[in-house]
Structure 1
Amino acid sequence: MTDCTVMFEKLFSKSGLSLDRLRGFMQMAEAGSIARAAPGDANHQSQISRQIRELEQFFGAELTRRRGKTLTLSAAGVRLAALVREQFQDLEDFRREQAGESKSFLVGGGASVLEWLVVPALPGISHCLGGATLLTGTYRSGGLRDAVRDGKVDLAVIRQNVVPEGGHSVVVMKMGYFLCIPRCLLKAGITTREAAKPALWQSLPFAAGRDGGQTDTAVRESMRAAGLDFRPRYECGSMLQVRQLVSLGACAGVLPTLGVRELDEKDVLVIPFAPMKEFGRALVLHWNPRLMRRRNVDEATLKGIARLLRDGAA
C-alpha cells in the first residue's frame, strides 16, 4: 500500500461518502433550502434530506441548522460546501479539457455595470481565457463579494471599497456622478451654470433608484442636503431604467460615468453632480486567487482582462 493510499484510507473505511450524496448536499446549499432544491418533488426532497444525514454521520459534524422553518448551513456546512464546490469545478474543468471543450467562467456585477461595461468586453475576455464560455450574473455588492470568496463567481467587477482588506483586485476605472437634464425640460436660455443650482432642480421631475443601495441612498441624501424636498416621479429598479427615462426626455436623473457615455448632449445637459463629488468610487476587477490558481488563470491574464475593461470604459 502506497503512502498516498494510506493517507486517504480513512475516507473510504466507512460508508456514507459518495459523489451523489455530495451532489444532493450541494443542491441544498446552492438553493438555500431542501424545498427550493427540489420544488414540488417530495421524493427528491426526502432523498436530499437523507443524503445530508448520511454525510453528517460520515463526517461526525452537523452540516445544517434549523431556524424555525428555515434550514441553513452550519459553519461546518459552509466549509464543506466550499470544498465540494472547488472539487466539482476541478472535475468539470478536467472533463472539458479531455473532451476538447472550453472552460466556463462566471462574471458577476451589478445590472448597469454588466450592461454598460462588462457585456461589450465579453468577446475580448473570452479570448483572454482561451475561448472560454462566459456566463454573467447580476449581484448586489455585498453578495458579489461573498460569491467571489466562496468560489461561486470567478470574476467580479465591483466597487473597490467593497473588496475585503487584502483582497486581490485591479482598478478598472473611477466612477463619478452626473446630473442629466433633458433640454426639453429646461426653459430657453438656461445656462449650464444656472442648471447646476439646486433651486432649479426642485421644479424638475426626477427618476431615481429604489433599491436602498449605496448609490440610491447617496443620491437621495445629497438632494436633501442641497435643500430639496426630493420626491422622484419615477422610482426605478436599476440605473438602466433611470437612463432610459432620461433619454426619453421624461425626467432628470443622476447617473454614473458609465451611464452618460451614450447620451446625446444635444438632447441632454450633462453636469458633474457636485453634491456627490466625494462619493466617487473606483471600480475594480476582483477575484479569488485560490480559485484562479486551481483554474490555471495567471495574474498576467487577469491584468489583461482588467485592461480590456479599462479600455472599454475610456
Structure 2
Amino acid sequence: MFEALFSERGLSLDRLKVLIEVRDAGSIAQAAPGDPIRQSQYSRQLRELSEFFGCEVARRRGKLLKLTEQGERLAELAREHLRSLEDFRAECREENVAFTLGAGDSLIQWLVIPRLGKIIDAFPGVHFATTNLRTNEIVQQLTECRLDFGIIRKNAVAQGLKSVSLGVVRYTALVPAGLLTKRKKVILREFLSELPLATQTTDGQFTSGLRDLAKSLSVSLVPALSCQSFPQTMAALRSGRFAAIVPEIATQDLATGFAHRVDDPALRQLDREAMLAWNPRLVRVRPNAAKIAAKLQSSLVI
C-alpha cells in the first residue's frame, strides 16, 4: 500500500510545511523576507517536491517564485493532512486543540468574546483564537481552510462554504444628551446634517449604505470624525462630543439617559444578516468541528 509514495525520495512533512508557508505568504521572497539563505533552501525544497510529483509546484513570475495551480492544490491537500496529524497528536497527548474564528472587530468585541467562555466550557481541551479580518479576507481564508470559522454578512457567503444565520445586526442612531441642550428631539435628517457625526468609514457596505441613506434624505454626508472601526466610533460617542450610528449590540453598556435614540424606519436600510460560515472540508478533517459549529450557532445568536 502507498508504494508509489515511498519508492522515491523528495516527499517529507518539512517540504509540505514549506509549501504551505509559501502559499500563505504569496511567494518565497515574502515567506522568508530578507533571508537569501532561507529563500534558497525553500526554492530547493519546492524543486524537490516538483521532481517527486512530476509537475511544477512553483514557477517564477517576474522576480518572484510563486506556486502554480498544481502547487496551490497540493498546498490545500497538505494543509488538511498536517492539521489532522496535529489534532491527533494533541488528542493523544491530552493537549488543547485550537480553533480559529474570524470576524470584524465590533462582532469580536461585542458578540463573540462575551459568549466564548460558555462555548469553551462545553468543550474541555479546546481553545479558540479570534482574528480581526475584513469580510473578503474571511471568505478567502475559509475557502483555503486557513481559518476554521468566520462571521460574515449573508450576501458575502461564497459558493462551497457552509453557513447558518446568527440573526440580523441592526444599527441605531444615538446623540449624547450633552449635544441636545437646545433641543428636545432630533429627526434623522437633522442628525446627519446638523450634528458632529462620528462614523465608521472603512466598512464598504455600511459606508455605502449610509451614503445612500443620506442621499435619500437630500443630505450631504460630511462626518466630523472618520473612524476605522465601530469600537472607535463608540469611543467617540462615549466622549459626549459626537453623535454616531452604531450596532445595537454595542450599546448594551451605555448608561441610562446618556444618549438620545433617533428612531427612523430608514435606518433599517443598514441592517445586515450575519452568518456563521465554515468550509465543509473542516468537518471531515477536524474532530468535533461539527459539534463546535452547532454550539457556536446556538451561542452567538444576535
* TM-score of the superposed pair, with normalisation by structure 2: 0.92
Matches within 5 A, 1:42-121: 42-121=36-115
The residue matched to 1:202 in structure 2 has which SS?
Answer: helix
Aligned equivalent of 1:270: 261
Contact 1:104 1:134 in 2 (8 A): yes
The residue matched to 1:293 in structure 2 has which SS?
Answer: helix
Contact 2:188 2:263 in 1 (8 A): no
1:121 partner letter? R
* C-alpha RMSD of matched pairs (Å): 2.0
| Cα displacement (A) at 1:65 | 4.3
Whether 2:211 is the aligned partner of 1:220: answer yes
Whether 2:10 is the aligned partner of 1:22: answer no
Whether 2:7 is the aligned partner of 1:13: answer yes
Unpaired stretches in structure 2, ≥5 consecutive residues: none
| Cα displacement (A) at 1:63 | 2.4
Matching residue within 6, 28, 32 for 2:26: 32
1:93 partner letter? D
Aligned equivalent of 1:203: 194
| Cα displacement (A) at 1:146 | 2.0
The residue matched to 2:88 in structure 1 has which SS?
Answer: helix
The residue matched to 1:249 in structure 2 has which SS?
Answer: coil
The residue matched to 1:232 in structure 2 has which SS?
Answer: coil
Contact 1:160 1:282 in 2 (8 A): yes
| Cα displacement (A) at 1:165 | 4.7
| Cα displacement (A) at 1:105 | 0.7
User: How far, CA to CA, are the matches of 1:213 and 1:55 in structure 2?
Assistant: 41
Contact 2:198 2:233 in 1 (8 A): yes
Aligned equivalent of 1:290: 281
- 257-266 vs 92-101, which deviates more? 257-266
Contact 1:247 1:268 in 2 (8 A): no
| Cα displacement (A) at 1:272 | 4.1
Contact 2:27 2:67 in 1 (8 A): no
The residue matched to 2:9 in structure 1 has which SS?
Answer: coil
Aligned equivalent of 2:175: 181
| Cα displacement (A) at 1:263 | 2.5
TM-superposition CA deviations, 1:112-150 (whole Å, max 9, x none)? 111111111221222233331211111111211221222
User: How far, CA to CA, are the matches of 2:196 and 2:300 in structure 1?
Assistant: 34
User: How far, CA to CA, are the matches of 1:72 and 1:205 in structure 2?
Assistant: 49
Unpaired stretches in structure 1, ≥5 consecutive residues: none
1:63 to 1:225, Cα distance in 2 relative to 1, 3 A: farther
* TM-score of the superposed pair, with normalisation by structure 1: 0.88
Contact 1:154 1:292 in 2 (8 A): no
TM-superposition CA deviations, 1:187-221 (whole Å, max 9, x none)? 34422xxx124035312111122325211222233
1:65 to 1:196, Cα distance in 2 relative to 1, 3 A: farther
- 107-116 vs 262-271, which deviates more? 262-271
Contact 2:29 2:64 in 1 (8 A): no
Contact 1:226 1:275 in 2 (8 A): no
1:160 partner letter? K
| Cα displacement (A) at 1:298 | 5.6
Aligned equivalent of 1:247: 238
Deviation >6 Å, runs of 4+: none
Contact 1:254 1:273 in 2 (8 A): no
Aligned equivalent of 2:126: 132
> Identity over aligned residues, as a percent?
35
Contact 2:188 2:262 in 1 (8 A): no
Matching residue within 166, 169, 180 for 1:172: 166
- 241-250 vs 59-68, which deviates more? 59-68
User: How far, CA to CA, are the matches of 1:72 and 1:208 in structure 2?
Assistant: 40
Contact 1:177 1:273 in 2 (8 A): no
Matches within 5 A, 1:222-237: 222-237=213-228
